[in-house]
């Protein structure tokens, strides 16, 4: 997988295609963050949301894991002066950590992988999330109407070509969180995008 080619345009494209709803969908996490939180952020992309967290002006520590050089270099230029951010240019499947986290963030990342790889990913990092910790997950709804199915198929073909993604559909992931409590959920873009805050 390689986001380097699309990286310069990704944020703009996503803002235009989804009328900024992918970005707005991130915001519900902000009120759950508190000083001294330790956050694991998987596939953070260009880091635009770092600046929103920075504006909270609370000191949180973030392990930011991103595979694309162009994306992570962009993220490093974001204003994160109030935060402690550790940038890791790594494949999340290979990233090793023995840290305990209060928060895990996955936003539009599970949809790159097969259902079995999503399970591997979830099982890999779930032990690092403390009891009562929160997993913040923003993804496309797994229940889609016909138009949304068409959009999904089109996006999958686009990202197959542009970023070398191997999957042919979005995986179903809601069941991964069966043992968590869903404490907040919001839907956007005619229920196509959903933001969920799960508590362990």
Ligand X SMILES: C[S@@+](CC[C@H](N)C(=O)[O-])C[C@H]1O[C@@H](n2cnc3c(N)ncnc32)[C@H](O)[C@@H]1O
Binding site for ligand X (CB under 6 A): 1, 3, 43-45, 65-68, 71, 91-93, 107-109, 112
Cα–Cα distance, 40 to 44 (Å, whole number):
10
- Nearest CB to ligand X, comparing residues 32 and 95: 95
- Nearest CB to ligand X, comparing residues 60 and 138: 138
- Nearest CB to ligand X, comparing residues 16 and 181: 16
Q: How far is the CB of 189 from ligand X (least distance, A)?
A: 14
Residue of 150, 128, 125 lying closest to 140 (CA atoms):
150
Q: What is the DSSP letter of 4?
A: T
- Nearest CB to ligand X, comparing residues 91 and 185: 91
Alpha carbon of 14 to those of 36, 84, 100, 130: distances in Å? 31, 27, 32, 32
Decide: helix, strand or coil at residue 177.
helix
Q: How far is the CB of 91 from ligand X (least distance, A)?
A: 4
Any idea which residue has 């032990």 for tokens?
A: 127
Residue nearest to ligand X (CB): 45
Q: How far is the CB of 131 from ligand X (least distance, A)?
A: 25
């Amino acid at each position: 997988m390689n986001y380097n080619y699309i990286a310069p345009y990704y944020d703009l494209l996503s803002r235009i295609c989804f009328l900024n709803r992918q970005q707005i969908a991130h915001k519900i996490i902000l009120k759950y963050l508190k000083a001294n939180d330790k956050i694991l952020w998987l596939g953070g992309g260009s880091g635009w949301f770092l600046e929103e967290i920075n504006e909270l002006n609370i000191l949180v520590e973030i392990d930011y894991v991103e595979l694309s050089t162009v994306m992570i270099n962009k993220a490093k230029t974001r204003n994160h002066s109030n935060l402690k951010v550790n940038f890791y240019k790594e494949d999340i499947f290979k990233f090793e950590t023995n840290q305990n986290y209060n928060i895990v963030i996955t936003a539009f990342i599970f949809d790159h992988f097969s259902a079995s790889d999503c399970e591997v990913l979830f099982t890999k990092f779930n032990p690092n999330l403390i009891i009562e910790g929160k997993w913040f997950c923003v993804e496309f709804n797994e229940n889609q109407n016909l138009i949304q199915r068409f959009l999904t198929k089109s996006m999958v073909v686009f990202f197959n070509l542009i970023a070398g993604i191997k999957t042919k559909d979005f995986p179903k992931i809601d069941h991964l969180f069966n043992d968590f409590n869903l404490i907040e959920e919001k839907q956007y873009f005619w229920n196509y995008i959903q933001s969920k805050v799960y508590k362990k």
